[in-house]
């Protein structure tokens, strides 16, 4: 006898979100000028204006811990079941980045912590894993953190589409932000559009091909979603896409609207996605965090009240896997947003001169086990203090309001 349990499943979804970005950014005007390119190519052609640049004492762990600390403020940590960290710029082949974050955030030992990977799409797989977990254990919460540093070669076509950042997503029953629909549609195909072998610290990419594969994945994931959900395009008020650069979101939405033959003006099409482009335009590609940053950008910047509105979501990870899924914004969602803190974080970033960007780009930790202390650069809550005996040393940033430590690092190494 089969039992239909679907009626008994709780509403599950995104309860709270927060992002963390490096304390510095490169204005793309400076990059365009130095690379002999028109800034309009970056601003209009790619839809990017600023690029987050990690300092030597920032990495995926410090970004993830900063975002996690904010999203967990005031939460009952004993209810936290699992932390899943999604990244494609992992710092260790064996130990999960989630364990470092678990330690920095003093999470209870019953809380599991592990890492997942499939390019930019693994964060969505992690989110779906968390949703399934909360469906089974509705009294527990799951924390998903997507964190990445997007790096291409200097003076390559990919260079202006770099970026860095993390987003922390608290998943619960009866969520305050977005109730997720159970249906989703995925598409997987073995292709080489973008990849990073273990021996490289920059991605290799066939740029034009990657755009084509992204759009193919969207078309197929949408078709699969329709097979499951049978939900018309008109059921959605807004759409958020994976945004390696924000023009990609426009390309994707144009593709979807022409596929379903939606009779929308250019302005109406843009209206359905534009609030979701705002943060990404100022930050750059954050790989796994990108789609989820766009969701948060939509919630925090859309001037209309989105309560009760359904959002269509497309996650893409090169290599490739794409997933189309959806959710409905919950009444009163604005009360749970951290809009002011996020605006302050972006506004307080420090612009870099091009030579400093190139110095920091070239900076790397020693690989021979020698002790090395990083210079103090970040304004974030956590920092990478250095490396000792092949072990990264993390610490609360001195001077950060959350820190009790008043002294700076003992000795600063040259970058």
Catalytic annotation on 24?
no
Q: Is the Cβ of residue 272 or residue 318 nearer to ligand HMG in the bound state?
A: 318
36-65: contacts with ligand HMG (CB under 6 A)? 38, 40-41, 44-46
**Which is closer to ligand HMG, CB of 173 or CB of 320?**
320
- Stated as kind and residue range, the H or E segment containing 17 is strand 12-20
Active site residue 242: yes
- Considering the rule CB under 6 A, would residue 345 count as an interface residue with ligand HMG? no
Among 211, 262, 365, 415, binds ligand HMG (CB under 6 A): 211
From the list 127-135, 137-145, 244-252, 399-407, the region that binds ligand HMG by CB under 6 A is 244-252
**163 binds ligand HMG per the rule CB under 6 A:** no
The answer to whether residue 412 forms part of the interface with ligand HMG (CB under 6 A) is: no
Q: Total residues contacting ligand HMG (rule CB under 6 A)?
A: 29
Nearest to 171 by CA among 132, 201, 210: 132
Residues 140-159 that bind ligand HMG (CB under 6 A): 157-158
Q: How far is the CB of 152 from ligand HMG (least distance, A)?
A: 6
Q: Is 287 in the site for ligand HMG (CB under 6 A)?
A: yes
Residues 154/155/156/160 CA torsion (nearest 10 deg): 80
Residue 8 annotated to the active site: no
How far, in Å, are 11, 14, 89, 322, 411 from residue 83 at the CA level? Answer: 20, 14, 17, 23, 34
CB-CB contact of 38 with 142 (8 Å): no
Among residues 321, 82, 305, the alpha carbon closest in space to that of 218 is found at 321
Catalytic residue chosen out of the listed positions 58, 88, 159, 274 = 88
124 close to 61: Cβ distance less than 8 angstroms:
no
Residue 207 makes contact with ligand HMG by CB under 6 A: yes
Catalytic residue among 120, 121, 240, 377: 120
Q: Is 194 in the site for ligand HMG (CB under 6 A)?
A: yes
Q: Which of 24, 102, 242, 292 is an active site residue?
A: 242
351 to 390: interface string for ligand HMG, x by CB under 6 A:
----------------------------------------
Locate tokens 């040259």: which residue?
414
Torsion of CA 305, 310, 311, 312, to 10 degrees: -160
Task: Measure the CA–CA gap between 294 and 303, rounded to whole angstroms.
Answer: 15
Write the interaction track for ligand HMG spanning residues 65-104; mark x where CB under 6 A is met and - where it is not.
Answer: -----------------------x----------------
Alpha carbon distance, N-terminus to C-terminus of the chain: 67
Among 268, 211, 203, which residue's Cα sits nearest to residue 234? 268
Closer to ligand HMG at the Cβ: 205 or 377?
205
Task: State in angstroms the smallest separation of the CB of 361 from ligand HMG.
Answer: 16
To the nearest 10 degrees (0 to 180), the angle between helices 28-35 and 354-362 is 90
Give the whole-angstrom CA distance, residue 122 versus residue 110: 24
CB of 313 to ligand HMG, least distance (A): 15
The dihedral built from the CA positions of residue 209, 49, 146 and 390, taken in this order, carries a sign that is positive
Structure tokens at 377: 């650069």
Residue 184 touching ligand HMG (CB under 6 A): no
Using CB under 6 A, which of 71, 120, 291, 311 touches ligand HMG? 120
Buried b (16+ CB within 10 A) or exposed e, 371-403: eebbbbbbbbbbbbbbbeeeebbbbbbeeeeee
- Cβ burial of 274 (10 Å; 0-12, 13-18, 19+) is buried
Binding site for ligand HMG (CB under 6 A): 38, 40-41, 44-46, 88, 119-120, 157-158, 161, 193-194, 205, 207-208, 210-211, 214, 242, 244-245, 248, 285, 287, 316-318
- Residues serving a catalytic function are 88, 120, 242
């Amino acid at each position: 006898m089969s039992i239909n349990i679907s009626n008994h499943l709780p509403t599950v979804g995104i309860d709270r979100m927060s992002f963390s970005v490096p304390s510095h950014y490169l204005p793309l005007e400076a990059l365009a000028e130095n690379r002999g390119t028109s800034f309009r190519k970056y601003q209009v052609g790619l839809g990017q204006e600023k690029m987050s640049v990690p300092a030597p004492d920032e990495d995926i762990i410090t970004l993830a811990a900063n975002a996690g600390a904010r999203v967990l403020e005031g939460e009952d940590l004993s209810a936290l079941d699992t932390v899943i960290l999604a990244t494609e710029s992992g710092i260790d082949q064996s130990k999960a980045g989630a364990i470092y974050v678990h330690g920095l955030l003093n999470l209870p030992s019953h809380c599991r912590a592990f890492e997942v990977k499939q390019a930019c799409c693994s964060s969505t797989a992690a989110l779906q894993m968390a949703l399934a977990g909360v469906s089974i254990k509705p009294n527990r919460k799951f924390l998903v953190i997507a964190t990445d540093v997007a790096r291409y070669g200097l003076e390559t076509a990919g260079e202006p589409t770099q970026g860095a950042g993390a987003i922390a997503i608290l998943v619960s029953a009866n969520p305050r932000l977005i109730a997720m629909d159970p249906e989703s549609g995925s598409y997987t195909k073995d292709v080489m559009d973008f990849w990073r072998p273990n021996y490289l610290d920059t991605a290799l990419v066939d740029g034009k091909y990657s755009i084509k594969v992204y759009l193919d994945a969207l078309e197929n994931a949408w078709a699969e979603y329709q097979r499951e959900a049978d939900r018309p395009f008109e059921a959605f008020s807004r759409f958020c896409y994976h945004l390696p650069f924000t023009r990609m979101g426009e390309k994707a939405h144009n593709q979807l609207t022409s596929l379903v033959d939606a009779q929308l003006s250019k302005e109406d099409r843009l209206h359905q996605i534009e609030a979701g482009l705002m943060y990404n335009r100022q930050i750059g590609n954050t790989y796994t965090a990108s789609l989820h940053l766009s969701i948060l950008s939509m919630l925090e910047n859309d001037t209309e009240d989105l309560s009760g509105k359904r959002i269509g979501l497309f996650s893409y990870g090169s290599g490739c896997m794409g997933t189309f899924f959806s959710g409905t914004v919950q009444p009163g969602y604005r009360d749970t947003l951290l809009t002011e803190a996020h605006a302050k974080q972006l506004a307080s970033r420090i612009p870099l001169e091009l030579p400093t960007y190139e110095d920091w780009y070239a900076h790397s930790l020693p690989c021979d086990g020698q002790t090395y202390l990083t210079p103090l650069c970040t304004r974030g809550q956590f920092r990478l203090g250095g490396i000792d005996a092949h072990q990264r040393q993390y610490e609360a940033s001195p001077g950060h309001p959350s820190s009790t430590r008043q002294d700076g690092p003992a000795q600063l190494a040259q970058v």
